[in-house]
Amino acid sequence: MKFLIVVPDGSADDPIDSLGGRTPLEAACLPCIDGLAQRGIIGTCRTVPAGISPGSDSANLSVMGYDPRLYLTGRSPLEAGALGIEMKDDDESFRVNFITLEPAASGVYADFSIKDHAAGDLTTEEAGELLEVISRAFATENIKFYLGTQYRECMIVSGRHAECEMTPPHDILDRRLGDYLPRGRDGRFFAAMNEKSYELLKDHPLNKAREARGLNPANGIWIWGQGTRPKLPDFGKKYNVRGSVISAVDLIKGIGMFAGLEIIEVEGATGSIHTNFEGKAAAAIAAYERGQDFVYLHLEGTDECSHQGSLEKKIRCAEYIDQRAVKPVVEYLQSCGDDFKILVVPDHRTPLALRTHTADPVPFVIYDSRNPLAPDSRRQFSERAAAASGLHFDDGYEMTDFFFERKV
């Protein structure tokens, strides 16, 4: 028996006027996933429990069968794990984003806003150069910086845990920064680093060159997502599978690593609409061929397009996922001679109207090759069709336990 979970990150959305009240999933042409839905079962799932912020950390933990109320210790430590950083129990990890700040006429930092939480698709190489500037200014015996992927870097603070509340930068695009600076006992310390980074980076030659090419400069950092090392029960033991995670995103790789799954690196996997869809599909097939029986295939592009507010790209990216990533794996599974089950589920919604995540239930599709239903065109991979099915799980781990037929 082979198992596949496909996560088109943030692909679920709300009805959109310019689509005649349809959602992007309803407007997209998804023959492969809709084909699975027509012969499978559909439903909705609440992947983000009440009181928990709808991040990709909580939502993907949930889809992997871990209750975020019990296991989420923060986003950054998951990423630190993926980067191979050994954290001690008294270490705290922070996400450091390179961002594009929009300066204010007043010249006062608190009046600035974040124009782009991803600094215009900064490359990892560029990030490395700029992180050296940040590290020279802020690193100490107890504060260390590590290069991540593209705009996503990591800072480890040793010795004591900070008391502060921080806000994800993609949640506050175009808003006045002064209302969202780090708060709490240690908030001012990190707020000062955020603020000083603008002076350090704004005139850096690399940023001047980016601006000359019409690209957003990485003219600031934003610190958030802190937490200590998580302790996840072993995924393979829980669901009786040997499996892998395929994702461009360090956070997702980190969850997989702490869950005891193998992490497969795919060349050209970027987490955007320009990712190597075919390469990810080939990596999944190769994992099955090596004798693994589970793949967690995560595709970030639909979420990234939502944060950018691009309806056209979000639809196109969902179609790429369907045709270039999912279809080859489904065709392989159909021809491999083994029974298989597929779960397609977005980790969370990322409505274009908000350009950030929400905790509303997401649609899911489960296809079981042992028991294909008579095709029914009303069964689709969409928010509305899934809600109309009447099948609902109030927690992500219930859906995942159901998918793996786990006897609790």
Min CB(54)–Zn ion separation in Å: 8
Helix (H) or strand (E) holding 208: helix 205-212
Quick one: which segment of 77-85, 161-169, 305-313, 340-348 binds Zn ion (CB under 5 A)?
Answer: 340-348
Quick one: which segment of 16-24, 272-280, 316-324, 344-352 binds Zn ion (CB under 5 A)?
Answer: 344-352
* Subset of residues 93 to 132 that bind Zn ion, contact rule: CB under 5 A: none
Q: Give the C-alpha separation, 404 to 202, whole Å.
A: 50
Min CB(249)–Zn ion separation in Å: 8
Q: Give the C-alpha separation, 271 to 122, whole Å.
A: 12
Burial pattern 47-64, b for ≥16 Cβ within 10 A else e, equals bbbeebbbbbbbbbbbbb
* Subset of residues 246 to 305 that bind Zn ion, contact rule: CB under 5 A: 303
Q: Which is nearer to Zn ion, 57 or 368 (CB)?
A: 57
99: phi > 0 → left, psi -120 to 50 → alpha, else beta; which? Answer: beta
The token pair at 3 is 């198992």
Q: Which is nearer to Zn ion, 9 or 171 (CB)?
A: 9
Q: Which of 213, 217, 19 is nearest to 100 (CA)?
A: 217
Quick one: which segment of 96-104, 147-155, 234-242, 345-353 binds Zn ion (CB under 5 A)?
Answer: 345-353
Min CB(58)–Zn ion separation in Å: 9
Quick one: which segment of 8-16, 83-91, 139-147, 377-385 binds Zn ion (CB under 5 A)?
Answer: 8-16
Neighbours of 404 (CB within 10 A): 20
Examine residue 56 and tell whether it contacts Zn ion (CB under 5 A): yes
Provide the Cα torsion 20, 26, 31, 36; round to 10°: -150
Min CB(59)–Zn ion separation in Å: 6
Quick one: which segment of 54-62, 200-208, 276-284, 336-344 binds Zn ion (CB under 5 A)?
Answer: 54-62
Residue nearest to Zn ion (CB): 56
Examine residue 34 and tell whether it contacts Zn ion (CB under 5 A): no
Q: Which is nearer to Zn ion, 34 or 303 (CB)?
A: 303
Min CB(358)–Zn ion separation in Å: 11
Q: Which is nearer to Zn ion, 2 or 349 (CB)?
A: 349
For Zn ion, the binding residue among 57, 347, 368, 398 (CB under 5 A) is: 347
Q: Which is nearer to Zn ion, 56 or 216 (CB)?
A: 56
Task: Enumerate residues 6+ apart whose C-beta is below 8 A from 115.
Answer: 99, 100, 101, 102, 173, 174, 216
Examine residue 9 and tell whether it contacts Zn ion (CB under 5 A): yes
Q: Which is nearer to Zn ion, 201 or 249 (CB)?
A: 249
Q: Which is nearer to Zn ion, 173 or 193 (CB)?
A: 173
Min CB(294)–Zn ion separation in Å: 20
Min CB(297)–Zn ion separation in Å: 14
- In which order are the strands placed within the sheet that holds 340-344? 262-264, 243-246, 294-299, 2-8, 340-344, 362-368, 41-45, 392-393
Q: Which is nearer to Zn ion, 145 or 296 (CB)?
A: 296
Task: Enumerate residues 6+ apart whose C-beta is below 8 A from 220.
Answer: 98, 99, 100, 101, 112, 114, 194, 197, 198, 201, 202
Report how many residues bind Zn ion under the rule CB under 5 A.
Answer: 5
Q: Give the C-alpha separation, 101 to 356, whole Å.
A: 18
* Secondary structure class of 71 (helix, strand, coil): helix
Q: Which is nearer to Zn ion, 249 or 264 (CB)?
A: 249
Q: Is 146 exposed, middle or buried (0-12, 13-18, 19+ CB in 10 A)?
A: middle
Quick one: which segment of 3-11, 19-27, 178-186, 221-229 binds Zn ion (CB under 5 A)?
Answer: 3-11
* Secondary structure class of 203 (helix, strand, coil): coil
The token pair at 215 is 């690209």
Name the residues that contact Zn ion, by CB under 5 A: 9-10, 56, 303, 347
